Amino acid sequence: MCGIVGYIGKDNVTDILVDGLRHLEYRGYDSAGIAVFENGQIRTVKTRGRLDDLTRKMETEGKPAGHCGIGHTRWATHGGVTTENAHPHRQGLVTLIHNGIIENYLYLRDYLMNKGKRFASETDTEVVAQLLEYYYNGNILDTIIKVLSKIEGAYALGIICKDDPDTLYAVRKDSPLII
Ligand code: GLU
């Protein structure tokens, strides 16, 4: 299993997320990524490989600056070890990270594809991002509660929404998550 970290506070979030993920490295992982609110936009950096690969990528692309964000180390269960499959996953206004397995993801994926949705990754995780966008009614908390009634499995989720800056939503079911 992977690790997920979220932070809201006074300090610059990027170093805190990477440091938090380093503390979870012992759990094993194959990819890493972060998403940060930067001037009202959500900026994502992710890569297959190690945290050092992520920090090198940020040296090239620039390090996101902000005070609210989420970070993830992935241990692939659904989909290959690729940068596209690395978390965070974004759909529309919503960006999320996920630890665990969405057991009914094939059913949900087919449902969404029949509605014309196209998937950018092979992960079970992306169905949650797609569902959040599909059902989004202007209130992300309501939408999260609705989507949780549709997904099955064991999971911890960290969710941010562009409409709701500097707010972090955390959800868990049968997976550990500490606040
Ligand atoms: N099932 C998700 C994936 O394959 C999350 C795996 C994990 O817990 O790292 O991307």
Burial class (CB in 10 A: 0-12, 13-18, 19+), 73: buried
Model pLDDT for residues 36-85, shown as the tens digit of each residue = 999 999 999 999 999 999 999 999 999 999 999 999 999 999 999 999 99
* R_g of the chain computed on alpha carbons: 15
Q: Judge if the beta carbon of residue 76 lies within 6 A of ligand 1.
A: yes
Model pLDDT for residues 18-43, shown as the tens digit of each residue = 999 999 999 999 999 999 999 999 99
Q: Say whether pLDDT at 176 is over 90.
A: no
For 131, residues 6+ apart whose C-beta sits below 8 A from its C-beta are: 108, 112, 147, 150, 151
For 151, residues 6+ apart whose C-beta sits below 8 A from its C-beta are: 102, 104, 105, 108, 127, 128, 131
Which tokens is 158 given? 């960290």
Among 90, 80, 79, 71, smallest CA distance to 20 is for 71
Instruction: Compute φ and ψ for 88, nearest 5 degrees.
Output: -70, 155
Q: Say whether pLDDT at 160 is over 80.
A: yes
Mutate to test the pocket of ligand 1, among 25, 99, 108 (most ligand atoms within 8 A of CB): 99
pLDDT at 166: 85
Q: Say whether pLDDT at 1 is over 70.
A: no
Average pLDDT over residues 76-105: 98
Tell me the pLDDT of the chain averaged across its residues: 96
Mutate to test the pocket of ligand 1, among 124, 157, 174 (most ligand atoms within 8 A of CB): 124
pLDDT at 66: 96
Q: How many angstroms does the Cα of residue 76 sit away from the middle of ligand 1?
A: 5
How do beta strands 89-91 and 94-102 pair? antiparallel
Q: Say whether pLDDT at 17 is over 70.
A: yes
Could you give the percent of the chain with pLDDT greater than 70? Answer: 99
- Give CA–CA dist 145/160, Å, rounded: 14
Average pLDDT over residues 90-101: 97
